[in-house]
A and B are shown apart, each in its own frame.
Chain A
Amino acid sequence: MSINDLPVLSALRTKMQWHQERQRVLSENVSNSDTPKFRPRDLVEPKLDKAGAVTGSMGPLAMTRTSSSHMAPSGAASGFDQNRNAGFETRPAGNAVNLEEEMMKAASNQMDYAAATSLYSKSLHLLKTAIGKG
C-alpha cells in the first residue's frame, strides 16, 4: 500500500482537486460578468466514502479505448457535477453573475483549500513521526 492510497490523503487530494476545479469555474463566472446571457455556474460538493473515494454521481466517466488504433482519450470531462441552479438575480441583458457572491465563493474556496493543504501536510508530518523521523 503506497502512501497515496491512505484514505485520509486520498480524500484530501480529491478535495484539493475539487477546489482547483471550482476556482476555474468561479474564474469563468467573474471574467464573464459583463457577457450578455451568461449564466454563472458552480460545482456540487463531492461526497466521499470512508475509504476517501468519491461516491454517488461523482464518479468520473472516463472514455475507454476499444482499439489500439484509436487516439488516446484526452480532455475527459471533469469528475465533478456542475450545479446549474446557481444565480437568481438576472440583469436585463440576461447576465446572472453577482460579483459579490462570486467573491465570497472565491474567498471561501481559497480558505477551504488552505485548510485541506494544511491537513495534508499535517498528515504527512504524522507519517514522518510514525516512522521515527518527525
Chain B
Amino acid sequence: MANDSSDFARSMAIATSGLRAQAGRMRVISENIANADSTAQTAGGDPYRRKVPTFSSALDRTLDAQVVTLGKIKPDQSNFRVKYEPSNPVADASGNVKYPNVNSVVEMTDMRDAQRSYEANLNIISATRRMIQRTLDILKS
C-alpha cells in the first residue's frame, strides 16, 4: 500500500487525523465551558463533572503510519466547588450547593493549546499541498 506516489497523501491523512482529534478535544472543552455552572437536578445531588479528553497514537494499517486518535473521554475526579446558598432549590440539608469542578482558566488554556495544535496540523497540510504543486510544476516545464 505504502508506495511512493501516495506518500504526500499519507502525510495529509496523518495531519487530518490530528485535525480530527483536536476538533474532538475542542468539543469536550466547549462542553465543559458551557456546563461551568450546571448544578444537579435534585437537592444535594452531584453537578456536572468536568471531562478530560485523552489522545493515543495508533498504527493505521492502510496508511502504514502512526496516526493520532481521540481516546476515551474520562471524568475529572477532582472535588466539586461548594458554595453556601441556602436559598438555592438544589441546596443540600446544610444549605451548600455543589458546583462543577470546571475552572474556566484551565479550559481557556486548553482551548488555546488545541487551537495551536490544530493550526500546526493545518500548516502541515498546506505545506504538503505546496510540495505536490511543485511536483506537478515539473510536468509543466
Q: Which residues of A come within 8 Å of B, CB atoms?
A: 16-17, 19-21, 23-24, 26-28, 30-36, 38, 74-75, 99, 102-103, 106-107, 109-110, 113-114, 117-118, 120-122, 124-125
Contacts and interface: CB of A to CB of B under 8 A. Distances in A.
Contacts of B116: 99
Interface string B103-136: 0000000000100110011011001101100110
B114 to A, nearest CB: 8
Interface residues on B, range: 35 or more
Given A30-B121, A32-B68, A17 B4 contact: yes
B68 A24 contact: no
Interface stretch (B14-22, B41-49, B74-82, B89-97): B14-22
B18 A38 contact: no
B40 to A, nearest CB: 32
A131 to B, nearest CB: 15
Given A32-B57, A34-B68, A117 B15 contact: no
